[in-house]
Structure 1
Amino acid sequence: MSPSEPLLGALQKHFGHSRFRPGQEAVIEHLMAGRSAAAVFPTGGGKSLCYQLPALLLPGVTVVVSPLIALMKDQIDALAARGIAAGRLDSTLGTDEYRALMAALRDGSLRLLYVAPERFNNERFRAAIARVRISLFAVDEAHCISEWGHNFRPDYLKLAGFARAVGAERILALTATATPPVLDDICRIFAVQPECAVRTGFYRPNLQLLVSAVEARARDETLLGLLAQRAPGPTIVYVSLQKTAEALAATLAAAAWPARAYHAGMKDDERAAVQEWFMASDRAIVVATIAFGMGVDKADIRYVYHYNLPKSLENYAQEIGRAGRDGGPSTCHLLLVTRDINVLENFIYGDTPDKAALGSLLDELFTAPGGELELALTELAARHDLRLLVLRTLLTYLELDGYLEGGTPFYADYRFKPLMSSAQILARFDGERRHFLEHLLRLATKERLWFRIDPAAAARALACDRERVIRALDWLGDQGMLEVKVAGVRHRYRRLRAPDDREALATALHRRMLQREKAELARLMQVLDFAGLSACHSAALAAHFGEILPQPCGQCTGCQGLAASVRERGASAIPETLAVELGALRAATGQALASPRAVARFLCGLPSPLLTRARLASHTLFGRCAEVPFEQVMQWAEDRLGAAA
């Protein structure tokens, strides 16, 4: 019997398939041999089977890390329909659901556990999962681990360390959008041998890639015309802004098209309703930000339109990859409006902090007494005018450079509601355990319906470690004696060494952030270059991901000799009176508009913690220069405001 025959038998038995898709068998064989692996398959290429099938054949549990709640829900529903025990751990679970899930994890009946990367900030989860055998640790969207990838997430850098700490026996890293350098990063960080990295062909011949250059004022009319001339079919129209999604969906609906908006600003139940409506329809149109589509397993999407430019070729590839998963012909049409560049550039510039903000952050981190830090990140970000993701990135840099060591995050605030009397609870214990619990419950402060307890203070009062307090509360919760809630996450860090020169370190960090900014801007320019190609678009996109096509696709805009003309982007002029208006405002607001970059962010309509705290996001000048390139506005601020800026 060949090694693949048992795998084919399991594939047929559990999933009803008679053969593997390209790359799946090689990845699964690596995992079954005890080796870690990486899978780079195109969107819709069957990555999920690479961990779902091994999860049924290996002992222990398979932990699947994914940022996509929609993917978790859809996959768990599909697995349940096949009689496979899988669950997800996220903030939507009620107390009873959480308790049942953790019981299934402990007793070994759960085969797959889906979690978001942020879940590893939860000390209760970290403690629980450390006691379970993890045969496979699967990381979806693994390109997020690469600092120089298109969607770097600091939480991902810590996943490899966590997998090692809990004794995960093998790791599987999965992505659809890794360029060759990013795949090298993935393999290095997750310790995947090069021969265990499986990349399948990126090119999909059933996707026709089209680009049309249009004027901003004619964009709606162009889209309506394209919809009218093509046969109806499930359609996604991607936009950059939530307000654009709402407005365009209304425009299409007014023209009698079955269109609805979808974006991250909607309530969970509203988004779920739109997704279910789309999944059930053969002609629905969803007008969406990039919040839609990730994890949506609909095979017959016939059209993907980009109403606004995607922010990178990686994003573009991921978004068009949702079309035609059934193998049928599908059209991916990009409407090129060069003025969209302003909005996308502003997203990038808005993340780069001032050097002064970095200096003040380092002052706080390295001048506080003692060697241990307990940080509330949201509050810390607000104090130093940093976006939260930027702060997390900076702390990760300081860890990687040996200045800090991250510890287990913890909750500073525990609340519980008794589900039985204290006497009934204590009657189930005797000796030292009863004595401990009796004193622990007395330390809680009564509120209206709940009791509040500080685990650290309780541990000091009881002369025990904090972990014993947490274990006791969690156990009482699991047994249905208490309903336990937690809040106030704090992130522990230990100072390993202080910088010799904080000013020099602030300069180095600022330079690093500027390099990231430059890299993101270059990715955006790659989209413009791609859109204006007179050669084969399919071949150019495949080459970006390391695949060389033997011949042009013959059906894209470039192959048809219809290359889109990339016009110079227009820009609104900066009003002559702006310096006077701004001068009065700056005099009244102090530090909120102290630097040229802060001024440029304000004028381009980019919020920051300091601007929000100063209530400037509602000022009439906020966003006054949203149509002007950010660099031009910042240069204006430097020239007009001078040293005072």
Structure 2
Amino acid sequence: MTRGGVHDEGRCVPVGWAAIIVSVNTAEHQNAYPDQEETRSRWQTADELLAERFGHPRWLPAQRKVVDAVLRGQNTLAVLPTGHGKSLCYQLPSQILPGLTLVISPLVSLMKDQCESLARKGIEALRIDQTISATEFQQTWKKLHSGRAKLLYLAPERFFNERFPAQLGGLPISLLAIDEAHCMSQWGHHFRPDYLRIPELVDRYQIGQTLALTATATPIVVRDIRKAFSINTQHTVRLSPHRSNLRLQCRVVESDQRDRMLLEQLPAGRKRRGATLIYVTRRSTADQLAESLCGEGFEPLVYHAGLSPAQRDDVQREFLQSPNTILIGTIAFGMGVDKPDIRRVIHYNPSQSIEAYSQEIGRGGRDGKPCQCETLYVRGDEVALANLAAGDLPSVTSLRSLVERLQGQPDRFYLSLGKLGWEINLSTPALATLMIRLQGLGYLRCLPMRYDTYRITPRFTNDVITDRCRPEHADAVAAVLASLAKGRRGFRVNLVVTAEQYRIDREHLIAAIEQTAIAGWWTVDAADSMHGYERAKPIKRPKSLIETLRRHAMEQFEQNRERVDDLTCFLQQPDCLAIGLAKHFGHRRTRPCGRCSACFASGSAATADSAMAGASPDRDEPAVGGGSIGRSAIAAMENAIKRHPDLFSDPLDQAKFLCGLSTPFFRRFRLAQDPGYGVCVDVPFQRVLSACQREA
């Protein structure tokens, strides 16, 4: 990993190879470390809450270590297996620490489930997300400011918009808990650009301490997290991700035999005990498999990103409430789902990495009883998995358009990433990653996201609102009321015009708008988000920069492909799968589990039920064929180019088309309906790209 530096408001912060990870020393922000008497008092309260509110008779040893570090005021990292009670490590301390506990969580469904679970325990936990109503929003902040609630869940991107500081209004934050913390590392399997900026929050909001949590962190990811939050080794608690009640199996099967093998794992009717979770790679596979199982007399649930939020909520609720149900889901399902009696986790298609595999099997057997974890591996599955990561590879044309747009911007500017991505043929996540990369290279600094549109609906007359608002906000409130313009959907205010006309800075206007909304005098709806940037240095060598960005994106793609290769080797290894899993995450295990497919194949568990063993995997590398993609594929590409010559000037876009990978331009022109789209879906992307480059 190469290292450099970028100046941020007068200080030099370290820059990582893939993107910036700012290391912060939070000692200056921490609350005074509690003395011995205070620590003893906190622990007494913690033990009482554990039994009386959370209903647990005792601590798990690792939980106790994590909570002890938190109650002593230390920055802490917890790497605990899925189902090992990570959430308790911040939920319980939040009721003891003096200030607010903020939880960064990546999924709305996860936040909602945890808040509902805590409510049943009599603990007030709140969340801010796009699904709550204006009334719920107002009540949430009222409870927080009155001290009636001390635990707030938020998505990471919400911290980085102009509204949040105004809503927070100076509330002291004792603890920042970062769930799924591996997302902040470029080496993590669920890398998310917004997570890279989380260390900035410690400085910005003077946060007392941090707790990073994850179930899947390799040694290099652990290093990144600890560096970012100044976490000492003695305050890092790590357990092996494998639980002994999970029985790991892998069968190598032919594609036409996979459904039959799956049916053998699904006893019907009264013979089935416990729920079954079946993972597939694609939405279409989920729908097709559900139809097939219905024909066999089953009634499976289906969950994927193609469903509406309401539909996904309904499916998840039914799965949690039904004792013996079957759910077919893509990787969109499962994070934060706490169902104790899942007896089978079946990978109809393999996971995308060893880390993802560990997370997905970890959703089974949370009650400590045995859970069968079976992978039905068809040779070639890994090709489609590896190809998925190519969907976000930027073409040289897209990179050139991006750099040209940036060169034409003023020193401070705001962009709609969704709109820009649609115009230059980049997905929003891919574009966000590139912008973070440009910050890491020292060209940009990220500013808080702002909104172009504010709609305000007064609940009282103007005189009443100005009389009852906070005195320090009276001028700003009066300016906003005077600037309201009737639109098709209520009243709008142009903050740029209002700030200039009344000589009130935007931050003061936003603070007045948000605090008046929390008080209940009006409601606010903000839309049209714009990401803010500040130029740090000019782009003097655009061609060199484009090549740097292209090379970095390709390196990221290769990392994802290597993760798939690592998983394939792991599933087919001759040694115990539990040993291999421990090794991948930096743990040492020498004793075979005696229950996995490798142990059965080696004869170390010859007396076990042979039905669980399945077929012994073939250790040969899967064949991927020669260097040609076939004349029919070339012909399909030529026909597509004739119909849409402007879309395929770059061989990279041609390869995406043949491999069935979507782009904004493909969606705009509905190219998924073209007969040639996806004809090379089972061919390695690199081979298809090479063929397209030769034909160009």
Which bracket does the TM-score occupy, shorter chain normalised?
over 0.9
Separation in 1 of the partners of 2:473 and 2:382? 64
Cα separation, partners in 2 of 1:439 and 1:203, compared to 1, 3 Å: closer
Aligned to 2:167: 128
2:220 pairs with 181, 185, 188, which one? 181
Amino acid at match of 1:286: L
2:567 pairs with 527, 536, 544, which one? 527
CA drift at 1:442: 3.2
Aligned to 2:617: 564
Are 1:23 and 2:62 an aligned pair? Answer: yes
CA drift at 1:182: 0.6
8 A contact 1:214–1:337 mirrored in 2: yes
Aligned to 2:435: 395
Amino acid at match of 1:530: F
Separation in 1 of the partners of 2:506 and 2:210? 31
8 A contact 1:531–1:566 mirrored in 2: no
Separation in 2 of the partners of 1:297 and 1:255? 29
146-155 or 624-633, larger mean C-alpha shift: 624-633
Aligned to 1:552: 592
Cα separation, partners in 2 of 1:253 and 1:232, compared to 1, 3 Å: farther
State the Cα deviation string for residues 12-34 of structure 1 (Å, max 9, x = none): 23323232113111111111111
2:101 pairs with 42, 51, 62, which one? 62
Aligned to 1:635: 690
CA drift at 1:581: 5.0
CA drift at 1:9: 3.7
CA drift at 1:356: 3.2
Cα separation, partners in 2 of 1:438 and 1:478, compared to 1, 3 Å: same
State the Cα deviation string for residues 82-138 of structure 1 (Å, max 9, x = none): 221111111110010000001111112112101111212332123322511111100
Separation in 1 of the partners of 2:45 and 2:125? 23
State the Cα deviation string for residues 244-288 of structure 1 (Å, max 9, x = none): 112212222222224111112112222222222211222111000
TM-score (norm 1): 0.94
Are 1:473 and 2:513 an aligned pair? Answer: yes
| Secondary structure of residue in 2 paired with 1:410 | strand
| Secondary structure of residue in 2 paired with 1:464 | coil
Separation in 2 of the partners of 1:432 and 1:231? 65
Amino acid at match of 2:220: P
1:465-614 correspondence runs (5 A): 465-561=505-601, 563-565=616-618, 568-569=622-623, 574-614=629-669
Separation in 2 of the partners of 1:550 and 1:294? 30
Cα separation, partners in 2 of 1:439 and 1:87, compared to 1, 3 Å: closer
Separation in 2 of the partners of 1:449 and 1:611? 33
Cα separation, partners in 2 of 1:183 and 1:438, compared to 1, 3 Å: closer
1:296 pairs with 322, 337, 341, which one? 337
Separation in 2 of the partners of 1:304 and 1:130? 45
| Secondary structure of residue in 1 paired with 2:373 | strand
Separation in 2 of the partners of 1:616 and 1:82? 51
Cα separation, partners in 2 of 1:86 and 1:448, compared to 1, 3 Å: same
450-459 or 149-158, larger mean C-alpha shift: 450-459
62-71 or 326-335, larger mean C-alpha shift: 62-71
Aligned to 2:497: 457
CA drift at 1:452: 1.5
1:81-120 correspondence runs (5 A): 81-120=120-159
8 A contact 2:73–2:209 mirrored in 1: yes
2:674 pairs with 607, 619, 636, which one? 619
Separation in 1 of the partners of 2:205 and 2:468? 32
Aligned to 2:237: 198
204-213 or 411-420, larger mean C-alpha shift: 411-420
CA drift at 1:202: 2.6
CA drift at 1:429: 7.2
1:16-415 correspondence runs (5 A): 16-129=55-168, 131-228=170-267, 231-368=272-409, 370-415=410-455
Separation in 1 of the partners of 2:416 and 2:646? 23
| Secondary structure of residue in 2 paired with 1:264 | coil
8 A contact 1:144–1:150 mirrored in 2: yes
Separation in 1 of the partners of 2:329 and 2:625? 26
8 A contact 2:347–2:376 mirrored in 1: yes
8 A contact 1:84–1:111 mirrored in 2: no
8 A contact 2:279–2:346 mirrored in 1: yes
CA drift at 1:432: 10
| Secondary structure of residue in 1 paired with 2:81 | coil
Amino acid at match of 2:370: P
575-584 or 262-271, larger mean C-alpha shift: 575-584
CA drift at 1:8: 2.9
Separation in 1 of the partners of 2:537 and 2:688? 39
Separation in 1 of the partners of 2:102 and 2:160? 16
Separation in 1 of the partners of 2:520 and 2:335? 36
8 A contact 2:166–2:514 mirrored in 1: no
Amino acid at match of 2:430: V
Separation in 2 of the partners of 1:159 and 1:129? 17
8 A contact 1:62–1:135 mirrored in 2: yes
TM-score (norm 2): 0.88
| Secondary structure of residue in 1 paired with 2:552 | helix
Separation in 2 of the partners of 1:331 and 1:269? 30
Cα separation, partners in 2 of 1:611 and 1:201, compared to 1, 3 Å: closer
CA drift at 1:357: 2.0
152-161 or 113-122, larger mean C-alpha shift: 113-122
8 A contact 2:183–2:189 mirrored in 1: yes
Any stretches of 5+ residues in structure 1 without a counterpart? none
| Secondary structure of residue in 2 paired with 1:286 | strand
State the Cα deviation string for residues 367-397 of structure 1 (Å, max 9, x = none): 32x3111111111222222121111111111
Aligned to 2:485: 445
Any stretches of 5+ residues in structure 2 without a counterpart? 1-36, 602-614
Separation in 2 of the partners of 1:329 and 1:436? 62
State the Cα deviation string for residues 154-180 of structure 1 (Å, max 9, x = none): 100111111221011000000000011
CA drift at 1:592: 1.3
Amino acid at match of 1:236: L
Structural RMSD (CA): 2.3
CA drift at 1:355: 2.8
Amino acid at match of 1:17: H
Separation in 2 of the partners of 1:57 and 1:608? 48
8 A contact 2:167–2:511 mirrored in 1: no
Between Structure 1 and Structure 2, how many residues are aligned? 640
Give percent identity, aligned residues only.
37
Separation in 2 of the partners of 1:88 and 1:170? 20
Separation in 1 of the partners of 2:473 and 2:181? 44
Cα separation, partners in 2 of 1:350 and 1:419, compared to 1, 3 Å: same
8 A contact 1:571–1:629 mirrored in 2: no
8 A contact 1:258–1:283 mirrored in 2: no
Separation in 1 of the partners of 2:302 and 2:452? 39
Separation in 2 of the partners of 1:433 and 1:114? 28
Cα separation, partners in 2 of 1:128 and 1:428, compared to 1, 3 Å: closer
State the Cα deviation string for residues 576-627 of structure 1 (Å, max 9, x = none): 2554553354245343101111101011111112333344333232223223
Separation in 1 of the partners of 2:647 and 2:558? 25
Cα separation, partners in 2 of 1:256 and 1:429, compared to 1, 3 Å: closer
